[in-house]
Homo-oligomer: A and B are copies of this chain.
Amino acid sequence: MTAEQFPVNRALAIIGGKWRPQLYCTLEGGPKRFLELHRSIPGISRKVLTDQLKELERLGMVERIEFDEAVLHVEYRLTDAAYTLQPAMKGLCAWGEGN
């Protein structure tokens, strides 16, 4: 079994990386707009936020919803598939806090 096929790595390919856990936890509270996310996650650049949102959308973890308003209005939210990750995230979070 190669590294990419390894189950834990398959999970880490989705929730791993510097910003995804925070992005995930922020969106857990409900849909958010782009700049709202940008303000909620101090230190992330707009470029990286865009990159991550696109990739998570491609992976089926995030949904992008564009509202038909005069002012450009976009919201991002977790898909149902993403919520199945919650137990695993809680486990990691608990360990990280205890350590």
Residues of B within 8 A of A42 (CB): 1-2
Measured CA separation A7–B8 after assembly (Å): 18
Residues of B within 8 A of A8 (CB): 15, 21-22, 25, 89, 92-93, 96
Given A1-B42, A3-B18, A21-B8, A95 contacting B99 (CB threshold 8 A): no
A93 is contacted by which of B11, B92, B96, B97 (Cβ under 8 Å)?
A: B11
Q: How many of A's residues come within 8 Å of B, CB to CB?
A: 36
Measured CA separation A85–B98 after assembly (Å): 11
Interface, chain A (partner B; CB < 8 A) = 1-3, 6-12, 14-16, 18-19, 21-22, 25, 42-44, 84-85, 87-99
